[in-house]
Amino acid sequence: MSDSLAVTGGIFIPFIGTTVGAAMVFLMRGEMKNGIKTALSGFAAGVMLSAGVWSLLLPAIDMAEAAGTVSWLPAAAGFLLGVGFLSVLDNLIPHLHANARLPGASITGKSAMMVLAITLHNLPEGMAVGVILAALVSHVPGVTAASALAAAAGIALQNLPEGAVISMPLAGQGMSRGRAFAIGAASGVVEPVGAAVTLLLTAVMTPALPWILSFAAGAMVYVVLEELAPEFHEGGISDAGTISAAVGFAVMMVMDVALS
């Protein structure tokens, strides 16, 4: 697969995941079943964890070592900065779970805040994909077209329930299914925008790629631990999420190593 095709796919795959999730409003009467949501979340978590290690942290260490600097410093510091950034962002932006418990808020108000929270939350995920694609076009050792697409696919899987979480409650309030779908899909537009903008800055940020790759890894791990892992325990079916996470990790690892 050519790098240009991988870049195009990597930019839009996460948005496609959100769109497909939002389209579930046409297929399902109620909410997404816990078993399906847990399995999807687990697989996405495994893929994102594996991508954080094989496609981000290890290449960052190799690049720093090749540059003659302390190999572990950009990886460790960038990783913690990524976690810290997402933590601050998560506390500044109205959080999805917190919104669902706002006392006295109308259903419409909750839904509006949910759309805003998920939309803004998608931006750093798009930027993380952009960083991986930037590493791909910069020919960073260890980053392949397959691994870049796999990382984008992992985020797309995570976006499936997010798109449904927006569109289905809106339809339940009486909004037309078509409009509810459009709003759900639109929440993912910021991801290709964030990925494209980050990719355009490749030439400027190439010297700092070890730090940026590690930063993206920290952001992805934060999303896994804060957003996806808690979903494993919903409905008393945590085993499905754990097993799916292991499968996702293994699939991503095989794609990253065997196809490199």
Contact yes or no for 86/226 (Cβ under 8 A) = yes
Higher pLDDT, 62 or 168: 62
Query: Can you tell me the distance from the alpha carbon of 113 to that of 99, in angstroms, rounded to the nearest whole number?
Result: 7
Of 54-68, 154-168, 224-238, the poorest mean pLDDT is in 224-238
Whether the CB-CB separation of 89 and 124 falls below 8 Å is answered with: yes
**Would you report the helix, strand and coil content of the chain in percent, each value rounded to 5?**
85, 0, 15
Residue 83 to residue 176: CA distance in whole angstroms = 38
Please tell me the predicted confidence (pLDDT) of residue 105: 38
CA distance 144 to 255: 9
pTM of the model: 0.63
Percent of the chain with pLDDT over 90: 12
d(CA 231, CA 235): 9
pLDDT in tens, 157-213: 877 877 877 787 777 677 888 988 999 899 899 899 988 988 888 767 667 778 877
pLDDT over 70 at 104, yes or no: no
Task: Express each pLDDT in 118-160 by its tens digit.
Answer: 676 677 678 778 888 888 887 877 778 888 888 888 788 877 8
**142: CB partners within 8 A, 6+ apart:** 54, 55, 58, 59, 62, 256, 260
- The two three-digit tokens of residue 208, written as one number: 């700092």
Distance CA 127, CA 133 (A): 10
Give CA 115 to chain center in angstroms.
16
